[in-house]
Amino acid sequence: KSYFQLLYGLLCMSSKEVTNEIKLVVGLPLSQFKNDKDLLREMILSKYILSGTFNGYERNFIITDCEVYLEGIASVPINYEGVFVDVGGRTTDAGITYMENGKRKVENPYSLPKGTINLYSDFIKLINVNHGLDLNTDKAKRVISNGLYIKNKRVDISKEMKIFKEYLDGLVSDLNVQYSLNTNAVTFTGGGSLDLSKSIKRRVEHAVVLEESLFSNAYGFREFGRSVWER
């Protein structure tokens, strides 16, 4: 139910028409794609009419077709050859892609059940335990950027910041085992990669962190949809 509520809200934000007939591209992480793509497509097409009110106005959407595409790989051009890493809120997904006989191939998918939401949550939990506070997770970015002040005194949080170092050190180590980063192009995407971009570049100097990482998957889905329905 929550999936369709989120989908409805996103569709309402993308169009001002009262009623729309749409063809839809949605994404799945590499770890779920093979097993869940057909199920997700069938689920969406079985509930092909989404209706309700948004900001006080009636809005209706009729989904006439649906395709499911890979998250992460959607962010890089079709002819890209190398490693792609999608740092999301709840998961980190990666793979290596290359062209073979004019077709894109993806091999050796890697998935880590941790993203920036998990990291921020763990970080704030440590802050609260170690300093006797009750901060919410949404304060994590502010604390990281501006430091932690208690009774107008700056507090050392280097111990708690190790969570991010350990995550990236472990991630880069795993990626090196999977793909040999030094011998491949490496592209990072996903909102989490923007938050960690400086730390990523320190560990993988030749890595590219996409400036539009928050929307790069959506842009890729759009191009994939055009390739399917605008032939």
Task: State pLDDT tens for residues 219-230.
Answer: 999 999 999 998
Kindly report the average pLDDT of the chain as a whole number.
93
Where on the phi/psi map is residue 152: left (φ > 0), alpha (ψ -120 to 50), or beta?
A: left
Entry pTM: 0.85
Task: Kindly tell me if the per-residue pLDDT of 26 is higher than 90.
Answer: yes
pLDDT class for 65, splitting at 50, 70, 90?
A: very high
The proportion of the chain whose per-residue pLDDT surpasses 90, expressed as a percent, equals 77
pLDDT class for 50, splitting at 50, 70, 90?
A: very high
Average the pLDDT over 153-161 and give the result: 96
What pLDDT is stored for residue 221 in this prediction? 94
pLDDT class for 43, splitting at 50, 70, 90?
A: very high
What pLDDT is stored for residue 170 in this prediction? 95
Residue 68, CB-side half-sphere exposure with 13 Å CA sphere: 17
122/140 Cα distance (integer angstroms): 10
- Per-residue burial over 81-101, b = 16 or more CB atoms within 10 Å of its CB, e = otherwise: ebbbbbbbeebbbbbbbeeee
Task: Kindly tell me if the per-residue pLDDT of 197 is higher than 90.
Answer: yes
What pLDDT is stored for residue 161 in this prediction? 95
Task: Kindly tell me if the per-residue pLDDT of 231 is higher than 90.
Answer: no
* Pairing label, strands 208-209, 186-189: parallel
With 0-12 / 13-18 / 19 or more C-beta atoms within 10 angstroms meaning exposed / middle / buried, residue 75 is: buried
pLDDT class for 102, splitting at 50, 70, 90?
A: confident
Nearest by Cα to 229 from 72, 25, 51: 25
Task: Kindly tell me if the per-residue pLDDT of 7 is higher than 80.
Answer: yes
Average the pLDDT over 201-209 and give the result: 96
pLDDT class for 116, splitting at 50, 70, 90?
A: very high
